[in-house]
């Protein structure tokens, strides 16, 4: 059965995960960068700047700026679409996969810390 959290519990979970992320000295990402990164990794490709802008309801220049940073950190990669040279495809990287795997582990750990009674129920 899926866990449900009160608003306070959800915020404490998020706060715990964020603090752990900061302590792990991972790159600081803006909410926009994190939204783009998780969208690229959790939804089926292909991903384009235009498609990400539409999906997240933000301007294409905002997606481009966020991708500039994600690419510098090697969390994502931009590549021209060979079939339509006007399109820029956003691709996953091993570094990005590791970053999100570690983030997911931090969130899972924070959930366990916030709800220790769930261990007894298992």
Question: Per the domain annotation, does 46 fall within a domain?
Answer: yes
Query: Which of the residue ranges 1-5, 7-11, 117-121 would you say has the lowest mean pLDDT?
Result: 117-121
> What is the total count of domains within the chain?
1
Domain enclosing residue 56, as ranges: 7-117
**Banded pLDDT at 119 (limits 50, 70, 90):** very low
Question: Per the domain annotation, does 1 fall within a domain?
Answer: no
The pLDDT mean for the chain works out to 89
Question: Per the domain annotation, does 30 fall within a domain?
Answer: yes
What is the full DSSP assignment across 47-105? EEHHHHHHHHT--HHHHHHHHHHHHHTTSEEEEE-SS-TT-EEEEE-HHHHHHHHHHHH
């Amino acid at each position: 059965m899926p866990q449900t959290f009160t608003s306070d519990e959800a915020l404490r979970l998020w706060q715990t995960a964020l603090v752990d992320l900061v302590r792990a000295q991972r790159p600081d990402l803006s909410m926009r960068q994190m939204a783009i990164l998780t969208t690229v990794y959790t939804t089926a490709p292909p991903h384009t700047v235009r498609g990400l802008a539409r999906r997240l309801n933000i301007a294409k220049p905002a997606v481009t700026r966020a991708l500039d940073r994600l690419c510098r950190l090697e969390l994502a990669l931009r590549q021209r679409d060979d079939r339509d040279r006007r399109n820029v495809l956003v691709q996953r990287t091993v570094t990005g996969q590791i970053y999100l795997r570690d983030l997911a582990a931090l969130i899972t750990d924070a959930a366990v810390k916030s709800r220790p009674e769930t261990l007894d129920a298992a």
